[in-house]
């Protein structure tokens, strides 16, 4: 009797899990196949810390994120600078300070245009930072990619990562790492989680707000 061919199984749909809790605590034990893609809260979201306390908190948590991923994995940060008392707070500098403390190196630094080049903005700059760091992963010159994202894409809320920045992070993970699960410890409404799923990646989000966590579980991307 001829052996029957194996039954073809449909590919598993990418999974999305959103936990209600403190994202910092979730950085303690990440599996090796996970990558972090996130945007840390601004000082305005943590007013009890004060400006100096927030700066220390931001560097400490960024360092923890860098240490949380495996050596060959990456942590990707989307951060927008702010102006406070007439002085710029450069969050890209703070991320790189944290990465240095964690023994991680900068793989790439992309500028995300928040508005059209040449536009004057107040309080926040016309650009945001997208930075990728790793302890062991290295990219050959031929693996370079554009340093500027001219269009941020839609945003699900005022503090969200824009969808084009999320997509750039997801594409990089697929092309250059073995990571197939994205963790966002400050996921908000889940923009990065939804984009990761759309690219076939599993996603895990952590959010303090139960209401936002519910919306992150259900977020569907806008149709093109």
Who wins on pLDDT, 154 or 172?
Answer: 172
Is residue 132 scored above 60 in pLDDT? yes
Q: Place 78 in a pLDDT band, splitting at 50, 70 and 90.
A: very high
What would the mean pLDDT of 81-90 be, rounded to a whole number?
A: 89
pLDDT value of position 102: 97
Please state, rounded to an integer, the average pLDDT across all residues of the chain.
92
pLDDT value of position 154: 87
The string of DSSP letters for 65-78 reads: HHHHS-TTS-EEEE
The CATH architecture of the domain made up of 16-218 is: 3-Layer(aba) Sandwich (3.40)
pLDDT value of position 149: 94
pLDDT value of position 221: 85
pLDDT value of position 57: 97
124 burial via Cβ count (<10 Å: 0-12, 13-18, 19+): middle
Report the Cα 133 to chain-centroid distance in Å: 11
What would the mean pLDDT of 59-69 be, rounded to a whole number?
A: 97
Q: Strands (DSSP E) along 67-219, which ranges?
A: 75-79, 82-84, 87-89, 105-113, 127-134, 148-149, 181-184, 202-207
Is residue 209 scored above 90 in pLDDT? yes
Please name the residues in contact with 214: beta carbons below 8 A apart, sequence gap of 6 or more.
Answer: none
Report the Cα 62 to chain-centroid distance in Å: 11
Is residue 167 scored above 70 in pLDDT? yes
Is residue 179 scored above 90 in pLDDT? yes
């Amino acid at each position: 009797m001829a052996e029957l061919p194996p039954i073809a199984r449909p590919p598993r749909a990418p999974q999305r899990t959103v936990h209600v809790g403190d994202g910092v605590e979730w950085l303690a034990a990440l599996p090796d196949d996970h990558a972090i893609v996130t945007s840390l809260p601004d000082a305005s979201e943590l007013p009890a810390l004060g400006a100096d306390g927030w700066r220390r908190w931001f560097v400490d948590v960024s360092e923890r994120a860098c240490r949380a991923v495996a050596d060959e994995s990456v942590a990707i940060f989307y951060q927008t600078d702010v102006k406070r008392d007439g002085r710029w707070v450069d969050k890209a500098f703070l991320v790189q300070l944290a990465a240095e403390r964690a023994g991680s190196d900068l793989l790439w630094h992309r500028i995300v245009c928040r508005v059209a080049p040449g536009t004057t903005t107040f309080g926040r700059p016309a650009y945001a930072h997208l930075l990728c760091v790793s302890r062991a992963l290295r990219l050959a010159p031929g693996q370079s990619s554009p340093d500027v994202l001219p269009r941020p894409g839609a945003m699900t809320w005022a503090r969200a990562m824009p969808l084009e920045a999320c997509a750039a992070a997801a594409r990089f993970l697929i092309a250059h790492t073995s990571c197939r699960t994205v963790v966002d410890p400050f996921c908000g409404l889940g923009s990065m989680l939804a984009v990761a799923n759309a690219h076939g990646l599993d996603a895990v989000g952590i959010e303090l707000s139960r209401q936002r966590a519910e919306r992150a579980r259900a977020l569907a991307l806008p149709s093109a």
